[in-house]
Structures are given as structure tokens and as C-alpha cells.
Structure 1
Amino acid sequence: MLTKRFYSMPRSVVRVDAQSPEGPYEWWRHTISHGGINSHPLPERVVQGAKKLKPRLLRTFIQEYFAIYPEHGRFDWTKLDPYMDSLAATGAKVVAAVTIKPKPLYPAVNQYEVMPNDIAEWQQVIRALVNRYSVEKQIVTYWEIGNEGDIGEDGGCPYFFRNPDDYNEYYRFTSEAILDAFPEAVIGGPALANPDHAMMKSFIDYCAAGNAPLDFISWHVYNRDPQVHRAYTNKFRGYLEQSGIVPLPEMLVTEYSTSFDTVHVEELAYAPERASMIAAGIMAMMDAGLDYSFYYHVWDQVNYVHEFEPFYEHVNKIMTRHWNETPHRFGMFGVHTEVRPHYFVYQMLSRMGDEKLAASSDRDDLLIHAVRSQGRIAALLVNYGIESAEDRIVKLAFANLAPGRRMIRVYRIDEKRSWSAESLELLPVEQREVDTAAAFFCEVYSPAYSVTMFTFEDL
């Protein structure tokens, strides 16, 4: 029966031209994020796992539960220092989203209270925060002002800006303090939950008018459709080009993942569909020219209600519901550091190479990226459809190879879990030596909702 099943599968062809470079393959622009749920530092296993992915940037929240300014004139870095040190231990510099609401400056617990009661003192707090983590510790290079302020607590932020003008003003006086403490800072926002919100255009226009500096804009996407990423990237590039800001600010998706599920069982975290969705989304973002994306997130966490109660009105309704009762299990690592399939999507990317090659597929739901480096060609195949996908046999057809001996290795993320959970390494599902001419083809099995990495290495 198994043999008959393979014989009857649909067949597809992808083509790779080994001598048609298309520019750098900047896989490192698609990286990871973390935080917003509790104050615990990353566990050592997660630190080492993230480090293997070679991240250059990692995005996080500076949340109020770190309690860095408990009373007028006093700073306390006791909780935030070990947390930030654990992020730095991954080898990445940090993109830090400012979402604090110190009690001396925001005495009322109210998400609609967005302005501090003393702007000068707020700026002192921001200068101290930036000096601590950009100057003294040299961890943070990007400062993102706010997080999902268009939806407030529902987006993991104690700020709800009902008027875009309020966000623009908040951004202005906060950015002044950041740059005063660290003039080299890369600054931006508004980290929208809804990219279609009027706040984005208002914010860009405000900065274009010379009211505040702008190095990047940011937004979030939780959607299974890879083309949503392409559409927003193109839309916002248009906004920025029309604004006249020079140089053109970067575009960052500082959180993205799958759509929020309607069921919440452990098995969904290991479904290969999620890994293939992430890989397809990254390909779309790369092809659209997005500057950075940050998968949310590297490690799943428990929400501890007592940490949010001092500054959240609806902690049980929002944080307990989302992370304890109906956990989304977005993490590359589970709560107890068990590795998930989508970790290995990023491992594949980090090992692809650095120069993209011309490649094509005969199907829209069979995606291909091909990359070369010294003595090596790699191809990444993603079998992903929004509504459905089919198991298929894929013919990989290579042209313009330098003839010679090569080692083929095939790695795959699918239901078989072909990896070592202990060493965090993919295991090859096929490995064999070949002797190729200038043209060469081979066939690989591509299950529905799988990610396959094929490598050719010179011998």
C-alpha cells in the first residue's frame, strides 16, 4: 500500500540555476522575539538553543512588572538585569519595546491614561533605562516606543491610545530622552496590533513633518496567509516613499505568528502545519523586501497574575485567559523547554548560505528558495496551502552545475520529528554521494505541510 501511495502521488518540478545569482540571502533579517508574559530570564537550554540560530537581533518587552522605578528618584534593576543578560547571552542585540508605567508617574490603573503626570520625570526614567541597557551594558540597539497601543491591555500593553495624536506626542517626548542618553539609538514604533489602524499613517506624517525622528516603523501580524505579509510590506513602503523621509525608515514586523487557534491542545504545537506556515511567511517577507521580522516567540511562559495586578485592570480576563487557560503555544520551546518543530525552520535558514540563486516552482503552494555558498548549494522547499496541501513527489532539477562528486543530504520537518531533541539538531532523512554533470535531477518526498531542506556539498 505504501508503494502504491508513492506511485500515485501528484508530481511537481522545481528548477535551480546554479550560475544565476540574485543577490545576498539575508536570512538573519528573520529572527525571534520574546517576553511580555512574566519576568523570568530565559532558561539556559533556551539561551543555548537560540544561540545556535545565530540571531543578530532579538525583540522583547520592557514591561512594568520589572518595577524599575518604584518611587520618585529611586531605580531598581534587580529583576530586569538578569532578564536582559539572558537575552544578551543568545549573542543577539536587543530591540526593546518600552511599555512601562511606573506608579509614581501613572498612579491610576487605567489603560486609557497614556500621559505621565510629569513629562520631565518620565524623560529622566527613560534616560536611566537607556543608559543602563544601551550605554553601560550595550545590549539594546533598537528602541521601540510602545506595543500594540491601538488595543491596549488586549495587546499586552497598559497603554490604549484612542487618539493617534496622543501616541505621536508620547513618541516625541520619549524619543527625545532616548536619543539624549544614547544618540546612536535606532528608534521607531508604533508596533500596531492592527496594521490598518489610522495610527500608522498619522505617525509617519507626523515624523515626516519634522516633529520627531524616525528610523523604523513596526507592526504585528498573526495570520496563516503568507501574502498578508507581502501586502502590508508593500503598503507601508508606499507610505514611507510618499512621506519624503530620507533615508527611508526600516520596516519591522516585531511580532508575527499563526492566527489565534479556536482550540488549545498540546498537539497543535507540534503540528507541521505551523512550521510550514512560518517558513512560507518568511519567504513572503524576504521576497517583499521587509527589513526585519521577529517570530513571537522563543519560549512559552506561564502568566503569574501577581506580576500584572499592580498595573493591569483586566489581568484575569486577558493574561490568565491567553496564557494559562487557553495557551497559544507559540513558543519554539515549551514551558518546560521542550523543543517544537518551528525551531528547526530557523535552524534551516541559518544554514542555507549567503547568495540567492534563481529558482522556480510549477505550483504556487510549493515554495522554493535556493542559495549557494562556498562548495555548497542548498534548497528550501515548503509545501504549504492556506486551505489545503497535498503530499507530492518533487523533482529537483539543477542546471549549470560544476561537474563533480557531491554529497546529498535531505532534512525534513514533518510529523515524523526527524531531529534530536537533546542536541537540537536535525537528522538527515536521506544522505548519499552522487557524481553530477552540469545538469542533474533527483526526487524528494514532500508531505503536505512540510519543510524540506536539500543540500549539495562538494566532495
Structure 2
Amino acid sequence: MNRVLIPAEPSGPLPSAWRECVGTGRLNLALRADYQESAALVQREIGFRYIRGHGLLSDDMGVLRESEGVTRYTFTYVDQVVDSWLRIGLKPFLELGFMPSALASGDQTVFWWKGNVTPPRSHDDWAAMVRAVLRHLIDRYGLDEVRTWPIEVWNEPNLTVFWEGADQAAYHRLYEVTARAVKDVDASLQVGGPVLSPGSDEWWAPFADFVAARDVPIDFVSRHAYSSGPVQQVPFGVYQTFERPQALLDQFDAPRRYLAGTALAGLPVHISEFNTSYRPDNPVHDTAWNAAYLAPVLAGGGDLVDSFSYWTFCDVFEEADIPTSLFHGGFGLLTHRQVRKPTYHLYAFMARMGRSVLARGDDHLVCRDDDGRVTVLAWQPVGGSDDGPYGSAPATHELRLRVPVASDVAVVRRSVNETEGNAWTAWRELGRPRNPSERTLDLLRDASTPAVRHHALSAVDGHVDLDLVLGQHEVTLVELVPVRSDEHPGLDDRRLLGQDVVG
């Protein structure tokens, strides 16, 4: 096996797009203790900048209330949610949706929690509500702060389940009315769309033409990315086929390709949702395969877009229904009660990577910090469904690197695979308990801890040779920390058992 020679000079900084935003269940769920505990853990160990979810304007947030012919805007829940985010360093990535029942033109809803997806019966009333929401947020949090929050108009209007009839002209009208209302409040507020789901790139050109022809404000464009196929339904869950990881990167790149040569070319691009499966009940989300699959996406996605937001940070989530088991295929990086999944560790590993990129390959990302610490993220390459059934990947994957270093190094390696750092595997071995006891939860949290190994390497001619054998579906983080010895006179580890001790 050939050894990969890592360059001594960096090619540039590691883009931060992978941690710019993370997804959440509907905003009302942020009022729950389990949600807040999960968010605090994620921020301590990963540290996202923005958070995006549905339902800011849905009935359970109580923004638009009517009584005896009197309309009132109420922000009790909005304030509690935004306050809880800001306390832990998360800024809102605002999605304006869904439609309050009092303003809706129809009764079509989506999800178990029944978000209304019909146009407003009065666009003037919709615009008034948008202005009221933004003015309140500015009054509470300050104009300079709210100017940093992207404001997205609706969610996946190209799908009939999210926008009545997937009516493109109706969405264009909603976008124009909303964007102008946003700018009425303050011209520096950031507004964008069209928030497309995968498979509808034919919407880009008409949207760009409409915005340009009518000089409609737009500061960024957004879309979503998933790589799963048709649903195979089973009780309380689904299975799906998958494309290869490159399919996600191709979707990331789509807005720039389709908008090249239009008035929207060059705008920031946000992938405001992405994952493997678009279903919140697909067990693949809980697996080590999911982490290995997404490793090259996190390593390379920042070259293509300004942000890509993992959907979602935790399993406090109720789109398909209330989850019926601890592990149920939820989108979350964390289960309920803060059990870390393998993909959580992929993100935590990325958070420990160095600032500057030395090398990227099909199975590795190598970075360095200014203090000489070198970090290696390595993974077993996995493909889509054409690779065969789950568990048919090779038992091991080998990677040999020659890494430039300035001194001898201590090597610390953290690993997650099918047997290490994998609470889902332990849960299956425990009989798949749907409602585990506290003792079992403690066992699962212990099982979710990555395996840690360490040793020392001596530099030869300014480099060390790093040989890695990865297990099935493994993602591993290796830190090469420069050794700077301190003097401890009299210490001699050979004498720990008392040899040659003079009384």
C-alpha cells in the first residue's frame, strides 16, 4: 500500500461552513428541558453558530392571536426560544413559516403537529405580521444583532406537502411580499430563498428571472440536500436506498451551477437542511455508516457553499409522530436523554481539527494549528446502496501517511466504528429496549464514548509515519501533539517498584 505524503505547507484555512448552522425540530420544542439539555451539550462539545427550524409562525408559537375581532401579536414563546438559544451561543436562522390558522387561505397541513401550508388569505396581513415580528426582535435584541440573522422565506415550496399545489407563481408572490416587508423594517436585514428540496432545480431559472425582473430584494439563496431514495415502509420506520456521498456535494454545488450568468450569481449559498435520509424514522441515522458516509461531505462541503446545516441536532422532534423508542431512526446527532450517536462524534472530531488544511483525500483530511499540532480525520470510504447490504463493507481499511512535524509527537487517537463509540450497537445487544431505565441509559452513554489510544512517535528528517487500520464504518480522529519535555530531576520510571532505592 502506497504511503501518502502530506505537504508541509497548508493550502488554506479549513472552511467553517460545516458548523455555521444546525437544524432543529419545530421551534416550540425548544421550550422542553430535554431539548435544552441537548442543545447545551452540543454547544459545549461542537459549537454551532446558527440554528434553523420550522414553525416560527405556526399556531403553537402563538404569534398571531385573534379574539372578538381584535388581532394581537404575541411573542411570549418566541422570546423564550430565542433567549435560550442566545444564552448558549446560537443565533437564529429564521424560517418564516408556517401559516397561522387565522391567516390561512385553506386547511392543508403537514406533519403530526399540523403546520398549515396554504398561502395567506391576505398578503397585506401577512406582510404586517412579518414586520411586527422583526420589529419586536429588533426591539428586544438590537438592530445590529438581528442584522446578522438570515431570514428565509418558507420551506420547500416546490413540494405539494409544504406549499399548496407547489404553486410556483404563488410562491414568487409570497417571496416578493415578504422580502419587501423585511426591507421595510431595515434595508440591511438579510432575506433569501427559494429553499428548494432536492430534485427541483428547474425552479432556479424562473425564480432568478422573477426576482431580477421585479427588482425584488435577495441577499442569499438556499436549498436542501438529501441522498435517499423511495421509502420502504415498516412499522414505525422506513428503509431507503442511497446514492453515493458525492451526490450530496453535487446538490450543494447546484445553486451556483444553475444561477451562473443570472442576476443571482455570486450570492451566498446556504444548504439549510441536509442529511442522508429525509425521513425522521430511518434507522440509518443512528449508525456508524451514517458518520463514515458524511465524513467526506463535512471535509469538502465548505468549498462549495457558505453553510450546510445538519438536520437535526437532537431527536426531540415530532414530524412523523411522537417517537416510540429511544433509537428510532431520528435525525438527531443525539437521542433523547443525550446519548451520542456516531455522527455526533464526526462533528465533535471536526470541532477539534486544526485551522489550516494540509491535505484532503478520499479517506482523510489533515490539518495543522499554528502551534504545530497536526490533526488527521480518517474514515473508511463507503458508498451508496450499490455497496451491498448493511454490514457488508470490508472489516478493515488501511491508511498510511507521512506527516511533516517539527518535533517528536504524542499521538492520541479517538475512534468510532461498528463496535467502538457506538451506542446503537450496544442498544441492539441489550435487546433494543424502547424505554430504557436510567441504569441502561448510563450503559448506553458509556458505550457511546469513542475508543481512545495513545502512543509516541519520534520524528525522522522532519516527519513521522502514521499507519492506521480502521474498523468497519470507522471514523477516527488522530492528534499529533508536539512533545516539549519538562525537567523532573530524580524521576526514573524503571525504579517505580523500588529497585535501587537507598534508605
Alignment equivalent of 1:299, drawn from 287, 296, 314: 314
Q: Greater relative contact order (Cα 8 A, min sep 6): structure 1 or 2?
A: 1
Equivalent position SS for 2:108: coil
Map residues 389-428 of structure 1 onto 2, 5 A cutoff.
389-402=393-406, 404-418=407-421, 427=450
Residue in 1 aligned with 2:373? 376
**RMSD of the alignment, in Å?**
3.0
Map residues 341-380 of structure 1 onto 2, 5 A cutoff.
341-360=342-361, 366-374=362-370, 375-380=372-377
Alignment equivalent of 2:468, drawn from 439, 444, 449: 444
Residue in 1 aligned with 2:426? none
Residue in 2 aligned with 1:39? 29
Equivalent position SS for 2:419: coil
Equivalent position SS for 1:390: coil
Alignment equivalent of 2:182, drawn from 178, 182, 201: 178
Map residues 13-162 of structure 1 onto 2, 5 A cutoff.
13-17=3-7, 19-30=8-19, 31-36=21-26, 39-41=29-31, 43-52=35-44, 53-61=46-54, 62-64=56-58, 65-71=60-66, 72-106=70-104, 108-110=106-108, 114-137=118-141, 138=145, 141-153=149-161, 157=162, 159-160=163-164, 162=166
Report the Cα offset of residue 38 of structure 1: 5.3
Equivalent position SS for 1:172: helix
Kept after mapping to 1: 8 A contact 2:17/2:306:
no
Map residues 182-261 of structure 1 onto 2, 5 A cutoff.
182-223=186-227, 224=242, 225-245=244-264, 248-260=266-278
Q: Deviations over 1:318-340 (max 9, x none)?
A: 733x9569953111121333222
Report the Cα offset of residue 135 of structure 1: 4.9
The verdict on how the C-alpha distance between 1:110 and 1:44 changes in structure 2, with shifts beyond 3 A counting, is closer
Report the Cα offset of residue 95 of structure 1: 0.8
TM-score (norm 2): 0.75
**AA partner of residue 299 (structure 1):** C
Query: CA separation in 2, counterparts of 1:113 and 1:60?
Result: 15
Equivalent position SS for 1:74: strand
The verdict on how the C-alpha distance between 1:151 and 1:409 changes in structure 2, with shifts beyond 3 A counting, is same
Kept after mapping to 2: 8 A contact 1:37/1:301:
no
Q: Deviations over 1:205-254 (max 9, x none)?
A: 222335312222111122142211222233321222210347x2111111
Query: CA separation in 2, counterparts of 1:127 and 1:449?
Result: 49
Query: CA separation in 2, counterparts of 1:426 and 1:26?
Result: 27
Query: CA separation in 2, counterparts of 1:238 and 1:250?
Result: 13
5+ residue gaps, structure 1, are 1-10, 304-317, 361-365
Kept after mapping to 1: 8 A contact 2:311/2:332:
yes
Equivalent position SS for 1:168: helix
Report the Cα offset of residue 291 of structure 1: 1.3
Equivalent position SS for 1:371: strand
Kept after mapping to 2: 8 A contact 1:28/1:350:
no
Query: CA separation in 1, counterparts of 2:117 and 2:474?
Result: 46
Report the Cα offset of residue 275 of structure 1: 1.3
**AA partner of residue 252 (structure 1):** H
**Matched-pair identity in %:** 19
Report the Cα offset of residue 383 of structure 1: 1.1
Residue in 1 aligned with 2:302? 286
How many pairs does the alignment contain?
A: 419
The verdict on how the C-alpha distance between 1:201 and 1:41 changes in structure 2, with shifts beyond 3 A counting, is farther
Larger Rg: 2
The verdict on how the C-alpha distance between 1:234 and 1:51 changes in structure 2, with shifts beyond 3 A counting, is closer
Q: Deviations over 1:437-456 (max 9, x none)?
A: 22321212212211111111
Alignment equivalent of 2:454, drawn from 428, 431, 446: 431
Query: CA separation in 2, counterparts of 1:90 and 1:341?
Result: 23
Report the Cα offset of residue 12 of structure 1: 6.5
Residue in 1 aligned with 2:336? 335
Query: CA separation in 2, counterparts of 1:132 and 1:193?
Result: 30
TM-score (norm 1): 0.82
Query: CA separation in 2, counterparts of 1:353 and 1:426?
Result: 22
Residue in 2 aligned with 1:313? none
Residue in 2 aligned with 1:312? none
**AA partner of residue 73 (structure 1):** T
Residue in 2 aligned with 1:7? none
